[in-house]
Structure 1
Amino acid sequence: MSGELICVGAIAGAFGVRGEVRLKSFCAVPEDIAAYAPLLSEDGARSFTLELTRPIKNGFAARLGGVTNKEEADALRGLRLYAPRDRLPSLPDDEFYHADLIGMAVVDTGGADLGEVIAVQDHGAGDLLEIRAPGASETVLLPFTRANVPTVDLSAGRIVADPPEGLFQDHG
């Protein structure tokens, strides 16, 4: 199997008693998740065909290939689903896959090292970059806005940040 895997969704549990699952889509256009099937487990060991059956609160009811009853559907709760990057659309210049940002170095506008992106979180009000500063145990959450993050250079693996005053002060 070639190429990197990008997380496109997750299973939130069973839906009904006939093997359907509750599916959360992480795609910009949620229904596009079906176009990227078959979807894979993170290790690539399991592959699932996917059919969206209807929209439900926070996602879709869906059928996964090989899942025929509620017990099998419940057993997949929490499973993250991945698609090979080459099946996904190219993004405009100002959009990024979360997977591309994790591990990137973060520097301020003067080039000083602020840390490394360890996660991208979204609590509904926009993405937050979770950054671990060098030698720090705590992390800092930086809102991922053009004002705070004027430059993302994927080829250099670097993010230039202009964080609000005091955000990266020593937690000493």
Structure 2
Amino acid sequence: MEYVVIGKVLDTFGLDGELKVLPYMPLEFFENLNKVYLKRKGGDYVPFEVEWVDFMNDKVILKLKGYDSIEEAEQFKGAKIFLPKEALPELGEDEFYAYELVGMEVETDRGKNLGKVARVQDMGPYDVLVLEGDKLMIPFVSDIVKDVKKEEGKIIVKEELLPV
């Protein structure tokens, strides 16, 4: 089974075992979670039932069933939160999860290779493709991104609109 990281536990929150989570997905994604998987470096994916989810500004407050004190919750600090790939909601035709774009080659519509996507960064109103080496950031907006060819692992951008 393949897993996708959806967030990272930053800290505990409150006294009853709540966790403050940095989301790697839009907040709406967390609204109906009932099961998540946590993993530490080198460890296995461990399933946990979600008791409830709340939001505080741009963070997610997550309560796992059976962990009812700050002491019990502290063990999760720094852990990444995962879901099985097949548990992710289906997206529309021209929608993509950030993890799908990472590693794709970026080329201009004139054939110039710009490099690979190292990460996708949320800039608020839009996402930005950050290329390896942090040498170039490309807004992921339809005015600049001409095509995403998932099967080929390629993103085509309009060269004349690039910030270079």
Contact 2:30 2:53 in 1 (8 A): no
Q: Partner residue of 1:64?
A: 64
Structure 1 or 2: larger strand share?
A: 2
* TM-score (norm. length: structure 1): 0.79
Aligned length: 161
Relative distance call for 1:164 and 1:120 in structure 2 (3 A) is farther
The correspondence for 2:142, drawn from 126, 146, 157, is 146
Structure 2 vs 1, CA of residues 91 and 138 (structure 1 numbering), >3 Å: closer, same or farther?
closer
Following TM superposition, by how much is the alpha carbon of 1:164 offset from its aligned partner in structure 2, in angstroms?
5.0
Match in the other structure for 1:96? 96
Match of 1:162 in 2: 158
RMSD of Structure 2 on Structure 1 (CA): 2.4
Counterpart-to-counterpart distance in 1, 2:162 and 2:36: 46
* TM-score, normalization by structure 2: 0.83
1:17 is displaced (CA, Å) by 1.2
Q: 1:148: Cα distance to partner?
A: 1.1
Counterpart of 2:31 in structure 1: which amino acid?
D
2:150 and 2:122 map into 1 onto residues whose CA distance is 21
In terms of fraction of residues, the more helix-rich structure is 2
Asked if 1 retains the 8 angstrom alpha-carbon contact of 2:110 and 2:159, the reply is no
Q: 1:149 to 1:166 in 2, by over 3 A?
A: closer
Does the 8 A contact of 2:5 with 2:83 survive in 1? yes
The alignment status of 1:22 with 2:20, answered yes or no, reads: yes
Unaligned runs of 5+ in 1: none
Identity of aligned residues (%): 27
Q: What is aligned with 2:31? A: 32
- 1: distance between equivalents of 2:14 and 2:123? 28
Match of 1:13 in 2: 11
**Alignment partner, residue 126 of structure 2:** 126
